[in-house]
Amino acid sequence: MKRKAWINPPNSHLLKGGREGFQESISMKLEEDLYIYLWQDPGENNCNTYLVRGEVTALIDPGHLQHVTSLFRQIEEDGISTEEIDVVIVTHGHPDHVEGLQAFLEKPVKIAMNQEEERYLNGNGKFLFEMMGQSLPRFRIDFYLKEGELHLGEKILNIFETPGHSPGSISIYWREKKVLFTGDLVFYGGVGRTDFLEGDPRLLIRSIERLSRLDTETLLPGHGEIISGREIVLQNYEFIRQSFYSYL
Ligand SMILES: [Zn+2]
């Protein structure tokens, strides 16, 4: 039997959160210029969001549209005006990462995605929106993220094309800080599912192996807990190899 390695049930967005006093996500300032917004509500599907602040400020994965207002509020509470956001990056085109792009359509920000993922989003990727009873929302993509360097002012992020969970998934490596943003490729104790249209387990394994060779102190996944410490990151890759590869 094929084991599902996946964290977010497809219909969990139908379960409405917003319970009294419940914090949907927690925020943390991880480094001088790195803010993380970790989704907490297990009853509702949404992704983690990350913000790299600087001369050019980038937001990574805005999540579901309905949660962008509370995300913006948290960012403001961290003393950052959302007007500071210059670039919005999406790791891949699944609704729980990309839908919130709509909140930026009229804003003077640059929106970035992998070109292959844009093709997917306009093709098979739109069925995931239809599962949610929506048609594909209108998106604006200003530039493509491809294998290589992305310069945010003085900061350099390395973009890795890491297909498997979706055909144009990317991961982002911030070499200077040894921080790796993995989208839905690698989680703490898990990997992204590959059973959606155009998911590919062989490519997923190849992508994970590529990332596992990067010197990583902090792994920031698209869902769930962050992984801190080089040894724990390596242990997590080893756990994934042993627990998931033969089932994929
Ligand atoms: Zn996904």
Report angle CA 16, 219, 211 to the nearest 5 degrees: 115
Measured between alpha carbons, how far is 171 from 31 in angstroms, rounded to an integer? 19
Residue pLDDT, tens place only, 107-166: 999 999 999 999 999 999 999 999 989 889 889 999 999 999 999 999 999 999 999 999
Contacts of 36 (CB under 8 A, 6+ apart): 27, 28, 30, 48, 49, 50, 51, 220, 226
- Is the pLDDT reported for residue 28 higher than 90? no
What pLDDT, on the 0 to 100 scale, is given for residue 33?
95
pLDDT band at residue 37 using 50, 70 and 90 as cut-offs: very high
Measured between alpha carbons, how far is 74 from 180 in angstroms, rounded to an integer? 23
Identify the residue whose tokens are 């769930």.
224
- Is the pLDDT reported for residue 1 higher than 50? no
Alpha carbon of 192 to ligand 1 centroid (Å): 7
Contacts of 246 (CB under 8 A, 6+ apart): none
Looking at residues 71-88, what average pLDDT do you find?
96
Measured between alpha carbons, how far is 248 from 245 in angstroms, rounded to an integer? 5
DSSP string, 156-221: EEEEEE--SSSTT-EEEEEGGGTEEEEETSEETTEE----STT--HHHHHHHHHHHHTS--SEEEE
Measured between alpha carbons, how far is 43 from 16 in angstroms, rounded to an integer? 7
Structural domain spans, the chain: 12-242
Looking at residues 24-28, what average pLDDT do you find?
85
pLDDT band at residue 20 using 50, 70 and 90 as cut-offs: low
Alpha carbon of 223 to ligand 1 centroid (Å): 9
Alpha carbon of 7 to ligand 1 centroid (Å): 10
Lowest mean pLDDT among 13-17, 60-64, 100-104: 13-17
In Å, how far are 63, 91, 117, 214, 223 from 146, measured between CA atoms?
A: 21, 11, 11, 18, 23
Q: Pick the more confident residue, 23 or 235.
A: 235
Measured between alpha carbons, how far is 248 from 212 in angstroms, rounded to an integer? 18
Alpha carbon of 115 to ligand 1 centroid (Å): 16
- What is the share, in percent, of the chain residues with pLDDT greater than 90? 82
What pLDDT, on the 0 to 100 scale, is given for residue 91?
98
Residue pLDDT, tens place only, 169-221: 999 999 999 999 999 999 999 999 999 999 999 999 999 999 999 999 999 99
pLDDT band at residue 4 using 50, 70 and 90 as cut-offs: very low
- Is the pLDDT reported for residue 106 higher than 90? yes
pTM for the structure as a whole: 0.90
Alpha carbon of 9 to ligand 1 centroid (Å): 11
Report angle CA 243, 177, 40 to the nearest 5 degrees: 55
Measured between alpha carbons, how far is 48 from 220 in angstroms, rounded to an integer? 9
- C-alpha 235: how far from its chain's center? 21
Topology, domain 12-242 = Metallo-beta-lactamase; Chain A (3.60.15)
